[in-house]
Amino acid sequence: MSDEPVAEDVTPLDAEPSERGILFVISSPSGGGKGTLIRRILPRVPRLGYSVSWTTRPPRTGERHGVHYFFVMPEEFIAARERGEFLEWAVVHGHYYGTSRPVVERELACGRDVILEIDVQGAASMRQLPLDSVGVFILPPSYEVLRVRLIARKSESLDDLALRLRNARGEIEHYREFDYVILNDEVERASAQLAAIVYAARAERQRQESLVRRVLTSFPEPTG
């Protein structure tokens, strides 16, 4: 057997949650592929939860209440907003969308970091909150690729599709407000990059203070 050091699994690093969970705020234009990347990393990265948003947009074929969104009527959304149920909310492509405060709190309370898949306005609101967050912008390779992806998705009416494409450039122009930008030209690579960002953020020194202090207590005090 070799005495060569063996690269350890990432689990030990991961087993030490920072004191408070991290919110990973992921934005992109519609069709940018953030949902696909998130679905790929959720089962692979431990201690990572997802916050299901509320929306007044009608469900698309195959979308399920409580899984993809909580689909509600505008009056219900507004009443929930008045009750302070949203960490942030915005009107996006003509519909209300909001991040549920209890859902995020529940995930954080379970010791998980949380992924929020929200638009650039919501990301700006999140930055105003005193929460530990990391912003990631998912960039489509080109207008043409985005257009083809949106058409292939067959989820929007033609008017809606045109609206989403019109809004895309303005959304991309917000990229400077994010900590990271991932080019989504190849799903495997882009999702590996997203997972790497999660691990790197967790390992940042300022998030490891309590771990370092705990490890230090196992060392004898210096003498003399």
Q: Say if residue 119 is exposed, middle or buried (CB neighbours under 10 Å; 0-12, 13-18, 19+).
A: buried
Judged by CB under 6 A, the chain residues 57 through 76 that form the site for ligand 5GP are: 57
Say if strands 23-27 and 113-117 run parallel, antiparallel, or are unpaired: parallel
53: contact with ligand 5GP by CB under 6 A: yes
Q: Which of 108, 65, 59 is nearest to 87 (CA)?
A: 108
Phi and psi dihedrals of 189, rounded to 5?
-65, -45
**Interface region with ligand 5GP, contact rule CB under 6 A, candidates 73-81, 93-101, 137-145, 209-217:** 93-101
Say if strands 95-100 and 86-92 run parallel, antiparallel, or are unpaired: antiparallel
140: contact with ligand 5GP by CB under 6 A: no
107: contact with ligand 5GP by CB under 6 A: no
Taking the C-alpha atoms of residue 123 and residue 116, their distance in angstroms, rounded to an integer, is 9
**Interface region with ligand 5GP, contact rule CB under 6 A, candidates 95-103, 104-112, 135-143, 209-217:** 95-103
Judged by CB under 6 A, the chain residues 111 through 130 that form the site for ligand 5GP are: 117-119, 121-122
Given 25, 37, 41, 92, the residue binding ligand 5GP (CB under 6 A): 92
207: contact with ligand 5GP by CB under 6 A: no
98: contact with ligand 5GP by CB under 6 A: yes
* Number of residues assigned to the chain: 224
Binding-site size for ligand 5GP (CB under 6 A) equals 15
Taking the C-alpha atoms of residue 17 and residue 14, their distance in angstroms, rounded to an integer, is 7
Closest distance between ligand 5GP and the C-beta of residue 92, in Å? 4
- For residue 94, give every residue at least 6 positions away whose Cβ sits within 8 Å of its Cβ, in sequence order, or none: 163
Taking the C-alpha atoms of residue 75 and residue 9, their distance in angstroms, rounded to an integer, is 49
Nearer to ligand 5GP, 173 or 204 (CB): 173
Residues within the interface to ligand 5GP (CB under 6 A): 30, 53, 57, 88, 90, 92-93, 97-99, 117-119, 121-122
